[in-house]
Chain A
Amino acid sequence: MTNAAPDHAPKYAQLSLPDRIGKAMPLLLVPILVVLGFLSIGSPSSWLTLTVSGLAMGMMIFIMASGLTLVFGLMDVINFGHGAFISVGAYVGISVLLGLESWTGVPSLLLNVAAVLAAVIAAMCVTGALGWGFERVIVRPVYGAHLKQILVTVGGLIVIEQMIHVLWGPDEIYLTRPETLKGAVTFAGAAIEKYRLLAVVFGLALFVAMRLVLKRTKIGLIVRAGVQNGEMVEALGYRLRLVFIGVFIAGSALAGLGGVMWGLYQEVITAGMGEEMMILVFIVVIIGGLGSVEGAFIGALLVGLLQNYVAFLEPKLALISNIALMTAILMWRPQGMMPVVKAK
């Protein structure tokens, strides 16, 4: 026996055109939907308004869903309590904004954005800490038991919602956006809300940052590898339990960030807002493919755009558009568009 490697020089076979299209298809779905929307709506200004609105909505859903898909993929945890972090984030963030009225009430972009950033940071800190406690007290005893996870995390959601009622009262809180984020800009005859543009920028920045962390850092490598084969990551010497906790905290903080953004978008917050959003968030995680940040991003944009287009074209169908989208995608790809973890 020799220590010689096989002397052939292996090369990849070129994929056929249909295979390449099939592989890239999830990436093409958003542009295809945008073009279909343009063809169906007819009016370019209405289409532009709806497209920006859909992208903004999609970005905010992505912010809320990105943490959940990693928790789902890495930890195999079905966390219905994720909605509670959205609500808590909104309440903490909006409380900060209400306390900074001297910054939000003046027409200064610098002060307004600083106030929003302060609200976001406060919300992420509180929901991150809450997530740490939630993982430790509620989730840790039920790792590996899906039915128990559903039961206890729904229980945790209800308890946290009731605590919001205790702390902030039972009524919804109405708010106004900071001065410079009110109103719209006109572009090519279309009115585009300033806040929606901010949401698009925020969502894109977060997506790019998450991709950089996941693709270019060692902790990102550990997370991506852990989603695929946690046992092997541990056998290489990494304490995946610590990574689990870090991801859970980050996911909770991102939900809190999404809560602030969504609260400012809707200009009203309720204790049940996170629970209501969870339907869309789960749709996005499922059609994106469990554990996939890219899949969640594409899924969120599809959900946001489709809901806005359909609400304009056939308002009654808007209620079922996302379920129809999920059905269609799961019939096409039962594991979701870009699954990292196979459904168990």
Chain B
Amino acid sequence: MSDPILELTGVHTDIAQYHILQGVDLVVPRGGVTMLLGRNGVGKTTTLRTIIGHWQAKSGSLRFDGADITTLPTPARARAGIGFVPEDMGIFSDLTVEENMILAAASGPLDQARLDWIFAAFPPLRTFWRSEAGNLSGGQKQMLSIARAMAEERQLYLIDEPTKGLAPAIISTMAGALRDLKNKGASILLVEQNFAVAKALGDTAAVMDDGRIIWAGRMAELAGDAALQERLMGLTMEAH
């Protein structure tokens, strides 16, 4: 694979006394959606948090867009072009939707054309533009969380379970927005438990177990091989 946007080599991360990532080797190609899959508790969220810098890797290296970011603090990684949507959405609930979006545009004022694109993807955000984000429904908060990452052009988006707990109609909206983002040329590393979404969006996939990547390849290959799914994750796509 030539010129990946992100490359993790032998990354180990500890959280308190727990050794969570135990030598993660991961390559995220430039452009397209890479699915990060695996059972609960295998280290997917820790991998994303290590990439954005919320947790520092104990050893190993992280290269983003050709540069070593292993020791960079979180704000520097974000300014380098990494957007992050955490599992808990990270919404500033006492701020309005508008204020959340203004903050998301860290390098200057919100671009109107980009905002129109976001409103087209997530119409409720226009409806509740001046409302406190804490009063939004779960689905609307998730829309805001992703919209915030979309407020500025990023080279890589780290998105952690964006469809968790959402109704099918909202999941469809999310998937549409992510596909739109991908079509604009962005690279996305997506943690997702919903296999229908993973299958629909993923170009490549990496499967984790016990803090390591145990398989990496084309998403279509994984989706089409029930035995491989069973071996890697203990389940099959048909189950979903």
Task: List A residues at the B interface (Cβ < 8 Å).
Answer: 1-6, 9-10, 12, 218, 221-222, 224-225, 228-229, 231-240, 340
Contact = CB atoms under 8 A, between A and B. Distances in A.
A238 B103 CA distance: 9
A297 B39 CA distance: 49
B176 A4 contact: yes
Contacts of A233: 103
Contacts of A9: 127
8 contacts: A5-B122, A5-B124, A12-B135, A224-B92, A228-B93, A231-B90, A232-B86, A237-B78
Contact of A218 (B73, B78, B86, B102): B102
A235 B137 contact: no
A239 B102 CA distance: 16
B106 A221 contact: no
Contacts of B175: 1
B173 A6 contact: yes
B30 interface: no
Interface residues of B, number: 45
Contacts of A231: 54, 74, 90
A229 B86 CA distance: 12
A221 B169 CA distance: 32
Interface in B19-74: 52-54, 73-74
Given A232-B90, A237-B107, 5 more contacts: A224-B95, A228-B92, A235-B86, A236-B78, A238-B106
A340 to B, nearest CB: 6
B99 A221 contact: yes
Given A231-B54, A236-B148, A240-B75, A3 B92 contact: no
Nearest to A13: B135
Q: Taking chain B's interface residues, is the majority helix, strand, or loop, or is none over half, making it mixed?
A: helix
A224 B173 contact: no
A232 B85 CA distance: 9
Contacts of A224: 92, 94-95
Contacts of B92: 224-225, 228-229, 232
Interface string B71-83: 0011100110000
A237 B172 CA distance: 29
B155 interface: no
Interface string B133-144: 001010110000
Nearest to A235: B84
A50 B172 CA distance: 62
A9 B139 CA distance: 14
B121 interface: yes
Contacts of B159: none
Nearest to B106: A237
B164 interface: no
A5 B86 CA distance: 22
A265 to B, nearest CB: 34
Interface string B87-105: 0001011110001001110
3 tightest A-B CB contacts, nearest first: A3-B176, A232-B90, A237-B78
A12 B79 CA distance: 36
A3 B120 CA distance: 9
Interface string B168-190: 01101101110110000000000
B194 to A, nearest CB: 11
Nearest to A222: B103
Nearest to B140: A10
> Which of B79, B103, B173 lies at the interface centre, i.e. has the most chain A CB atoms within 10 A of its CB?
B103
A30 B179 CA distance: 53
Nearest to B124: A10
A133 B122 CA distance: 47
Nearest to A5: B123
B200 interface: yes
B94 A3 contact: no
Nearest to A340: B94
B176 A1 contact: yes
A221 B95 contact: yes
Contacts of B172: 1-2, 4
A323 to B, nearest CB: 29
Contacts of B53: 234
A2 B176 contact: yes
A246 B200 CA distance: 47
B54 A235 contact: yes
A2 B180 CA distance: 11
A10 B127 contact: yes
Interface string B143-164: 0000010000000000000000
A235 B80 CA distance: 11
Nearest to B145: A232
B148 A225 contact: no
> Which of B74, B86, B93, B173 lies at the interface centre, i.e. has the most chain A CB atoms within 10 A of its CB?
B74
Contacts of B78: 234-237
